[in-house]
Each structure stands twice: as C-alpha cells, then as structure tokens.
A = this chain, B = another copy of it.
Amino acid sequence: MSTETLPLKARPGRALPDVDDRPRMPLGFRAGAVAAGIKASGRRDLGVLATTGQPAAVAATFTTNRLSAAPVRLSQAHLAASGGWAGAVLTASGSANAATGPEGDADQLALAEALAAAVGVPPHQTLALATGVIGTRLPVDRIRAPIADLVAAGLSTGDDALAALAEQLCTTDTHPKWASVRLELPAPDGSSRTVTVAGIAKGVGMIHPRMATMLALVLTDATVDPPTLHGLLAPAVERTWNQLTVDGDTSTNDTVLLLASGAAGTVPVQAGTEAADRLGAAIEVVARSLARQQAADGEGATTLITCQVSEAPDDATARAVARAVVGSSLVKAAVHGRDPNWGRIAAAVGNAEVGGQPVPIDVARLAIAICGVPVFEGCPLSFDRSALSKLMAAPEVVVAVELGLGTGWGEAFGCDLSEGYVVENSVYTT
C-alpha cells in the first residue's frame, strides 16, 4: 500500500517524522503465516509472531465493546499475569471467536498452550489476535498442528515475514496495511543505534474504535519497559485509531499490541526524555498512517475522508467534532456522490458530543471548507458547485472546520458510503 497518495500533514507546527511505505521487521522478532483452513477460501489465515530472544515489553489497548472476544480476554488476562511481557502472538483471521460462550474461551486457551509449547514460553507470555465472523468458533483441532509445524519449520526475521503476517490478517481488506519509521536513539556506549518502529494492521468494516481499534501490531527494537511503552502508545492511539470510523460499529475484537524487543541495543527509553518524545512521535506516525490506510480501504470505500478541526476550545472537542463529521452517513453518502452538500457537514458539527455533552458551537464563528474551497463562514458562501464537485473526485476529500473558539486541534479519518458497502455487508454470512 502506497502512502504517497496520503500526504496530508498532521497538526500544523507539530514535528512528526516521515513514514515509510515498507514492512520492515525490527530486530528481535521472527514471524510466519500459513493456511490452516479457518478461511474457506484456502488463503493464509494463521500467523505466529515470536521474539528471537527474551520476551518483549508490551503495551496494549483493547475494545470497550462489552461483548469482548475470547482473544481479547485472553490477551488481557495474560498481560495482567506477565506484568506486560510476551514472547509470542498468535494471529487468526476468518473467525472472530466472539460471542462463542465458554467454549470459545477454552478454544483460545488451548491454542495459547499449543503456541507456548511450540515457541518455548509459558502460556501467559502469549497473546492473541483474531478477526472474522462473530459467533463462529475457531477449528482448534485443525489449527493445533499447523502452529507446531510453522514454528518447527523456522520463523523468519526478514521483512517478508512481517509482510506475510500483514497479508494473513486480511479479511475483506483489498490489500495489506503496513508502515515503518527509522530513527536514531542513544546506545549505552555513547554512540547511537538505528531503531525501527513498524506496524501492520487490518480492518475494513465494523470500525469505530473507542479506547482501542481494529487489529494492529506495532513492533520496535528499542529498549522500553512496559509502563513507559504504554505511556507512548496511549496518546498515539487517542490521536489516530480512536479517530477512525468506517461504519460506527465498535468491534468486539479491537486490539492494538505494541511490542518492544530491545534488540537494537539502545539505552532504555525513559518517560519524559527527548528519546521518549522521538520514539512516541515515530509510534504515532506509524499509527496515523495505518489508520488512514484502514479508512481509505473501508468496505466499499472509494474516497478517504479526512476532517481537520481547528480553533476548538480544546483538542478533545476538536477530535469529537472531526469524528462526528466523518461518521455522518449523510456526509459519507454526499462525498460518494461528489456532492458539496456542506449543510450536512454543518449538521454533523452541531450534533457532536464530547463526554456525553454537546460541544459548544457559535454559528457566527463557524467556518467550513471542502477540498480547500470555503463554503460557509457564519453564513452560506457562494462557490462554484460544479468545480468543487470535480475536486471531490480525488482519492482524499479534506473537510476543514474552524470553530473560532480557541486553539484546540484534531483530525479524524473515515470513508465514503457506497453501494459497495451495502452489497458487501448484506451478504456476509449467507
């Protein structure tokens, strides 16, 4: 997936590194993927990521859906037991293992034990990701042997192995999603070491993350302890994946895992230092790229919609307004038809809520632009409707909203609502 078509800048004045369109495996990790028969299509549907040495430090965020899936509950329990360390991750696509009752939890635990035995770590140092149809069980007996075989055949530390893992995660994705950043961090001997931050993600439908997101795995070879790692992950997720919506439905399986192997040999990154700032920015830029790739590849989507909100009372309000705009079915349908129907954007701004309360809006100060064309500044502006409609045929439509109420800034990512979304989702299980 090329990110060159997604050049839009994040917050003005905020220094973020450029992201690379490459699946680069950081040092200290190995991976592999096979077709284990979960998907009827015969495509690869089972993956293993493991560390090459010691367990990696882990930070994670999970779905807030009250019906969280078995892999989510297993990962949460294992991270609590391990104190935030993991030696292996099992990834499965084709079944979400959600709403599968106690049997679903037993299935997931059996697979964790199989993975632990194959890799040689305690079961509580394993994590799990799964995606697919809710309510279908994983075919445990069919999967157990492929896990052992995959590890026995030798996992690879190459970039190709990370790409294979990204491909294996896909369900209705039209392409795998990856991004990476390289930066220099201090080494113990006073020199510096090149550190890699790389992420892969899947997700096209049932995307409306709250506190977490669809499946994403971010790896780094920097040396970071679990609490510091969590401190870097949480704000990045808040500004990126929690600002992504495809259809307003928060999945039962949302999970972001961030693993740090320490294999690059850097000085341990301490919270509050310049190294932490730079590593955090690298994590955020990878997360933002993946979230934008997920939005652009939303089910049936033809257009990435980015809403950037400025002059809000605070950042949280700006993010809420941006989410309301990209989440509006009517805005999404209008963008699909290249219809500069800005009234729907205004209505969506007026519906935004933050923390259950309506956001403050002063209509007289409100300004809206679509693809750089001002359409509303306290009252309707006249503009060339036909010319703007042509601009909206671009792969990305940027909606800029100024509230005139402060310095808060935020953005959100979504996609148009197409006939293709309806067709794809009306015949998913039958």
Contact = CB atoms under 8 A, between A and B. Distances in A.
Nearest to A210: B351
Contacts of A341: 133-134, 428-430
Nearest to A67: B350
A100 B380 contact: yes
A248 B361 contact: no
A149 interface: no
B333 A426 contact: yes
Given A423-B419, A428-B334, A98 B343 contact: yes
Interface in A214-255: 247-252
11 contacts: A64-B358, A66-B349, A67-B366, A98-B343, A98-B347, A133-B341, A135-B376, A135-B380, A334-B429, A337-B428, A338-B430
Nearest to A350: B67
B135 A430 contact: no
A102 interface: yes
A418 interface: yes
Interface in A100-136: 100-103, 133-136
A99 B425 contact: no
Given A206-B330, A343-B134, A346-B134, A337 B427 contact: yes
A366 B417 CA distance: 32
A370 to B, nearest CB: 12
A99 B134 contact: no
A338 B426 CA distance: 7
Contact of A329 (B247, B251, B338, B428): B247
Given A99-B376, A361-B66, A350 B252 contact: yes
A376 B338 CA distance: 42
Interface string A345-372: 0111111100110111101101000000
A379 interface: yes
Interface in A75-98: 96, 98
A405 to B, nearest CB: 12
Interface string A326-341: 0111100110111111
Interface in A312-338: 327-330, 333-334, 336-338
Determine the interface band of chain A, counting residues with CB < 8 A from chain B.
35 or more
Contacts of A249: 328-330, 344, 347-348, 351
A205 B339 contact: no
Contacts of A423: 419
Contacts of A329: 247-249, 329, 421, 425
B425 A422 contact: no
Interface string A191-224: 0000000000000011000000000000000000
A142 interface: no
Contact of A428 (B102, B339, B366): B339
A337 B419 CA distance: 13
Interface string A161-185: 0000000000000000000000000
Given A329-B329, A346-B99, A339 B67 contact: no
A11 interface: no
The residue among A65, A137, A358 with the most chain B CB atoms within 10 A of its own CB is A65
Interface string A59-78: 00000111110000000000
Contacts of A3: none
Given A67-B346, A417-B425, 17 more contacts: A65-B347, A66-B351, A66-B352, A66-B359, A98-B343, A99-B379, A99-B380, A102-B379, A134-B344, A135-B380, A136-B380, A206-B344, A252-B346, A334-B426, A340-B429, A340-B430, A417-B426
